C-alpha cells in the first residue's frame, strides 16, 4: 500500500505540464535553474516552486556549485517514472539550441 501511495504522489507531480516538461528537460541532462527558467520561458520564482515540489517528491536532486543550483533526475529507484519518460518527446534539440549559458 505504501508503494501505491508513493506512485500516486509521483503521478500527481507529473500531472502538471510544467513539472512534466522539467522532467523531460532533465531526462536529457543536468541543468542549472537559470537554464530551466530560460527553456520554460517562465519566471525564476515559478520554476523554483515547481522544482521544489519535484525535489520534495524525491523526483529530482539538487546540487549547489558556487552560487548556482543544478538539478538532475532522481528516478533510479522508480522504474515506473523511467518508463513514462521513455515516451516523452525528446527536448534535446531545444536544449542544444539554447545559446547562452547563464551559469558559466
Give yes or no for residue 67 having a pLDDT over 80.
yes
Q: How does pLDDT run across 1-39, given as a tens digit for each residue?
A: 899 999 999 999 999 999 999 999 999 999 999 999 999
**How many residues appear in the chain?**
104
Rounded to an integer, the average pLDDT of 42-48 is 96
For the chain, state the CA radius of gyration.
Answer: 13
Q: How does pLDDT run across 82-104, given as a tens digit for each residue?
A: 999 999 999 999 999 886 667 66
Give yes or no for residue 81 having a pLDDT over 90.
yes
Chain-centroid distance of CA 45 in Å reads 15
Query: What CATH number matches the domain at 2-91, 1.10.10.10, 3.40.47.10, 3.30.420.40, 3.40.50.720?
Result: 1.10.10.10
Amino acid at each position: 500500500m505504501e508503494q501505491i501511495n508513493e506512485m500516486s504522489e509521483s503521478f500527481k507531480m507529473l500531472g502538471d505540464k510544467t513539472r512534466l516538461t522539467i522532467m523531460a528537460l532533465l531526462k536529457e541532462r543536468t541543468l542549472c535553474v537559470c537554464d530551466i527558467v530560460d527553456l520554460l520561458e517562465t519566471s525564476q520564482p515559478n520554476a523554483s516552486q515547481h522544482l521544489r515540489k519535484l525535489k520534495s517528491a524525491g523526483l529530482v536532486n539538487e546540487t549547489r556549485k558556487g552560487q548556482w543550483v543544478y538539478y538532475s533526475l532522481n528516478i533510479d529507484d522508480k522504474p515506473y517514472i523511467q518508463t513514462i519518460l521513455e515516451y516523452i518527446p525528446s527536448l534535446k534539440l531545444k536544449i542544444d539550441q539554447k545559446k547562452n549559458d547563464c551559469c558559466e
